[in-house]
Structure 1
Amino acid sequence: MPKGSEELTHARKEEIIDACAALYETMGFRDITIRDIGAKTSFTRTSIYNYFQTKEEIFLALLQREHERWAADLEELARRDGPLSAGEFADGMARTLEKRGCMLKLMSMNLYDMEGNSRLENLVAFKQAYAGALRAVSRCLEEAFPHLTAEEIQTFLYAFFPFLFGVYPYTSHTEKQLAAMEAAHVEYTHCSIYELTKSFVGNLLRAFL
């Protein structure tokens, strides 16, 4: 690790993660290289290895940051005054996720690659952020629906978090994918992250309310 303050180390890591995020908006995970990421930072490419040993560690740090930001939005939802209706809760959850397209994209495509080629300490840091999101969703449920039991909340989590892995593929398609579905006569109605999440959460809550 280079000499310098913790603030400098954090700033350098954030710059690397920002560069990765910017590239991921227009390029695929497998196409992006550390050379590409380094070219978008203010320091030399070789300096990246002082902070991340692999491309996958950079992407995992991006996913960790996405979960931390999502958890922060969830905490705001949990702080709303009083119980919520199922519709209000579903709306709130959907709005937290419509800002997390990058998170959903990474979860759906590259999680095993990122985890498998990252050092244990990096993986632990990500899992802590993931656990924080789990706890935040639980708090949202506890505040919105005080009558729910611990078992009911756990049942919701077991359904909701696996659902997240499929949100991006169902709401984001390339021109090639759309052309293939048309040629295969696949019936398809586009829906947004917000629309899909709101519908799913609302339907899921009906089992408990």
Structure 2
Amino acid sequence: MPKKSLQLTNKRKEEVIDACEKLYLTKGYQEITIKEISKEISMSRPSIYNYYETKEEIFLALLIREYQKWNADILQIITAHEKLSPDELAHALSHTLAPRMLLLKISAMNLYEIEEHSREERLKDYKVVFKESLDAFASCLKKFLPDLSNQQIEAIRYAFFPFMYGIYPYVYPTDKQKLAMDEAQVSYEQTTIEDITYNLLKQLIH
């Protein structure tokens, strides 16, 4: 594909992803359709289908973009610091996740359905960038906590990543959920993505 055509294709894909992101900030997942996305941009539904076969593939592209941003921030920790104490590392890693609300929301609320309705090659793209996250996280641990064995790093990594899927629902309960917890006398403490992530990491890596 000629360079200009590729640039235009990528630009149009980004416009679709941006529109999906904008809608997801104010609407529920089920409310968002390719028709709704097309209304946000100067692109018809048939044109969108040139790039993405389903709504789920658009969300998957948004998730991939979020992981790419997160991966870059994790790798920046490695390049920006020679040494970090365990507490400093826990703070640094939790800080990288704080802006990734969309990543956490999609992963917790919609990922299974998105994967089920995306083509295999699109799903592979997501798995590749997810693996890059696993590797970047492990590289941080290896650099700043050199006394950890490979088995310990593996254990920390596979405790942390499943934990990520529960962050969004815990940090952002709905009003209905909070009311039900009050009525059931379930204790609940308001927290943030960064704080809840730090509190786990300091336990895992100290």
**TM-score > 0.5, shorter chain as reference:** yes
2:96, 2:10 → 1: CA distance?
A: 26
Secondary structure in structure 1 of the residue aligned to 2:80:
coil
Q: Deviations over 1:125-156 (max 9, x none)?
A: 11111011111101111111122221111111
Secondary structure in structure 1 of the residue aligned to 2:23:
helix
Question: Which residue is equivalent to 2:189?
Answer: 189
Check if 1:205 corresponds to 2:186.
Answer: no
Matches within 5 A, 1:53-132: 53-132=53-132
Greater mean alpha carbon deviation, residues 113-122 or residues 4-13: 4-13
Question: How much has 1:86 moved relative to structure 2?
Answer: 1.3
State the superposition RMSD in angstroms. 1.3
Tell me, yes or no, if the aligned pair for 1:83 and 1:146 is still in contact at 8 Å. Answer: no
Tell me, yes or no, if the aligned pair for 1:35 and 1:45 is still in contact at 8 Å. Answer: yes
Question: Which residue is equivalent to 1:146?
Answer: 146
Question: Which residue is equivalent to 1:165?
Answer: 165
% identical equivalent positions: 44
Q: Deviations over 1:37-56 (max 9, x none)?
A: 11111221221000000000
Q: Deviations over 1:70-107 (max 9, x none)?
A: 00000001123323111101100111010000000011
Matches within 5 A, 1:23-34: 23-34=23-34
Secondary structure in structure 1 of the residue aligned to 2:203:
helix
Question: Which residue is equivalent to 1:22?
Answer: 22
1:86, 1:130 → 2: CA distance?
A: 24
List structure 1 runs of 4+ shifted beyond 3 angstroms. Answer: none
Question: How much has 1:166 moved relative to structure 2?
Answer: 0.5
Q: With the length of structure 1 as denominator, give the TM-score of the two structures.
A: 0.94
Check if 1:44 corresponds to 2:44.
Answer: yes
Q: May I ask how many residue pairs the two structures share in their alignment?
A: 204
Could you tell me which runs of 5 or more consecutive residues in structure 1 were left unpaired when the two chains were aligned.
none
